Amino acid sequence: MSSAPRTQARLAAELIGTAALLATVVGSGIMADQLAGGNVAVALLANTLATAFMLYVLISTLGPVSGAHFNPVVSVMAFKDGALSAGLLAGFVAMQVAGGVLGVWLAHAMFELPVLQLGVKPRTGLGQWIAEATATAGLILTIRLFVRFKPAQVAAGVACYIGAAYWFTASTSFANPAVTIARSLTPTFAGIAPADAPGFILAQCAGALVGYALASTVMAEKQ
C-alpha cells in the first residue's frame, strides 16, 4: 500500500476504534444503569466487562492497521519511541478526540437521549487525580512491556489491565484524555463534569510519563 492510502487507513482506524470504544463505554453504562435497579456495583461490573471485551476486539482487529492507540498519551509515547511521525501524531490525536465525541453521540442516539449534552457527574479531588495518574501509568507500562515481551498478547493484556483498573482505582480508570473529553459530553453513568476534565487530563499526562519511565527502566534491565 502506498503512503497516502496507508495513512488514511491508519487515521480511519483510530477514528473508528475510538468511536466504538466510547459507544461501548457510554452505551453499556446507560444499559447497566437502566437494568441494575440502582445497584452501582452491578452497573459498574457490566460497564467493565463490556469495555474490556470491546478493547480486546478493537486492538486485535485494528492493531495491525494503526497500532490501535485510541488514546493521545499512547500516541505520544509511540512518538517518543520513534514509531510515529509528528504529523501522524497530530492526525491520530485529532481522530481520537473526534471519534470519542462521535461515539458518545452514537450512544445517546441509540438510547433515544438528546445527542448534545454535557456531563454532570463530579469527579475531582486529590484521590481522583492520583487514581488517574496511577491508571495511566499502569496502562503505559502494560502496553510497552507487552509490545516488547509479549507482542501477540497485547490485546489481552490491555483488556485485562483496564478491566482490573476499573475496580482498583478510585476514578474507575479513564486513563485517556480523548475518553475524558468525550465523557464530559454525557450526563449518563460514565460521564464527568466538564469542569473536572482538565484535572483528569493533567493527571493522565503525568501518569503517562511515569509509566513510560518505569517501562524504560524494566526494559533496560532485560537488555
- All structural domains of the chain with their residue ranges: 3-222
Q: What is the pLDDT of residue 223?
A: 60
pLDDT value at residue 5 = 83
Question: 111: helix, coil or strand?
Answer: coil
pLDDT at residue 199 tops 80: yes
pTM: 0.95
Identify the band that residue 220 occupies on the pLDDT scale cut at 50, 70 and 90: confident
Model confidence over 21-72: pLDDT tens digits? Answer: 999 999 999 999 999 999 999 999 999 999 999 999 999 999 999 999 999 9
Distances in Å between the Cα of 147 and the Cα atoms of 25, 49, 155, 186, 219 are 25, 23, 10, 33, 11
In CATH, the number for domain 3-222 is 1.20.1080.10
